[in-house]
Every structure is written in C-alpha cells, then in structure tokens.
Amino acid sequence: MTFPWLRRRRDRRRIEDGTATPSTFIEQGCELTGEMRFRDSVRIEGRAEGEIRASGLVIVGESAEIIASVRAEAVIVYGSVDGDIRATRKITLHKTARVAGELQSAGIVIEEGARFKGCIVIGADDTAAISPAVLAANEAS
C-alpha cells in the first residue's frame, strides 16, 4: 500500500535533485513559438520562443536555445536561456549553461563555468506585496 503523502514527498525529492523523468521531450531540431504549458515536467533540447510554464521540472538541455520566460517548480539549465527564470523550489545552472535574465527562486545553484548575466532574487518578489496604486504613485513622484 502506497500512501499519497509519501508519493508526493518522493516526487518532490526527485524534482529537487533533477532525477525526475520528464513526461514531455522536445527534441533537437524542433522549434516552438508562443505560450507553452506543461502539466508535468518537460525536457527541451530544441529552440523555444515565448513563455514556458510547467507544474513540475523544466530541463533545458545542452543543445537547447530558449528565448522565453520560464516558470516551474524547478528549473535545471544545461543550455542557453535568454529570459527570466522563476522557480518555486530551485534553479540549477550547470557548467555548460548560458543565461541572461532574472533568476528568482527559493534556492539557486550555479556551477563553476556557467555563464550568467542578470540579477538574482532569492525568495518572493518584493514588488508583489505592493499594490499597483502605490507603485504608480512612486513612479509619478
């Protein structure tokens, strides 16, 4: 008998350490444009432009060229990403990664050799707690 809470904990651990098997695979040579949403995990080896959202893990393979914002539970980058990356749990940039944009997550790992240009936000975005009216008033002054 498997308890649901145990399965969720095991799946969460597999996402955090990158051992989760993606349910979707975008092969090298494929080119996608637009808003892409995945219910589970995805590994991208091709080219993608636009917006990528997944409820699980996003793996950007070494041959991948991503020009998009990426949002997921966890993101592991081996290839190229030009855009903001937001993950609720963890972002990992391996030594072959080339990233330009903002990284926002609870945890961030950058291996020696990875190239990164941008800013890092650890934790929640501070501007999310400020109302749009207050932001507009601050910009006007």
- Higher-scoring residue by pLDDT: 130, 62: 62
User: pLDDT for 19-60, tens place per residue?
Assistant: 567 888 899 999 999 999 999 899 999 999 999 999 999 999
Q: What is the CA radius of gyration of the chain?
A: 16
Q: Both ends of the chain: CA-CA distance in Å?
A: 62
Average pLDDT rounded to a whole number, residues 105-114:
95
Alpha-carbon dihedral angle through residues 44, 106, 3, 21, given to the nearest 10 degrees: 10
Residue 21 has what pLDDT? 73
- Residue 135 clears pLDDT 80, i.e. is over it: no
Residue 23 has what pLDDT? 80
What is the spatial distance between Cα 4 and Cα 84, in angstroms, rounded to a whole number? 33
What is the spatial distance between Cα 5 and Cα 25, in angstroms, rounded to a whole number? 27
pLDDT category at 124 given cuts 50, 70, 90 is: low
- Higher-scoring residue by pLDDT: 19, 104: 104
Give the number of other CB atoms < 10 A from CB of residue 65: 18
Residue 24 has what pLDDT? 86
Residue 6 has what pLDDT? 44
Give the global pTM. 0.76
pLDDT category at 18 given cuts 50, 70, 90 is: low
Q: Where are the domains of the chain?
A: 4-140
User: pLDDT for 51-92, tens place per residue?
Assistant: 999 999 999 999 999 999 999 999 999 999 999 999 999 999
